[in-house]
Amino acid sequence: MTGVPRSILLLSAVTLVPFLWGAASYLSGALGSWGSQVLGPRFIGPYVQLFFGAVMLSFHSGILWGFCAKHREGVPALAYVFAAVPAAWAFLMTGNGPVSASLNLLIGFAGLLVLDMAFQNWDLTPRWWLRLRVPVTLVTCACLAVSAFL
């Protein structure tokens, strides 16, 4: 990913671990059983994905808000409203069981990518932002799809 700072690339890769682990421990009964015994049931399958996914959507609301605040002048007022949407979505849409919550988080991350594109279009993000966000979002959504659809 040309132009993405290494530290940000590494941290973004680390944020994929709970999603990848959640999908793997959901698909493999043996891995899920081991994870439940060693880490506890909250840290396997869709449960780790749901908790961490809600945290990450909220975190990204803060990132988008930060992009707005950094520019101070000429930021569309709607950008501030849109910056709050991922956190509100996570809060409102993850309480109806693991399948529904997984699907809603998947939709939330897909929507976040649309917001990332809008913020890039408004010239609020670093130039490399979408080169980072597209693959990270695709992996995140694929992992959430395991819990939502399988």
> If you search the block for the tokens 């609020």, which residue do you land on?
124
The CA distances from residue 77 to 35, 65, 74, 98, 130, in Å, are 45, 11, 9, 35, 22
Give the residue among 142, 137, 133 at the shortest CA–CA distance from 1: 133
Model's pTM, two decimal places? 0.94
pLDDT in tens for each of the 150 residues of the chain?
679 999 999 999 999 999 999 999 999 999 999 999 999 999 999 999 999 999 999 999 999 999 999 987 888 889 999 999 999 999 999 988 999 999 999 999 999 999 999 999 999 999 999 999 999 999 999 999 999 999
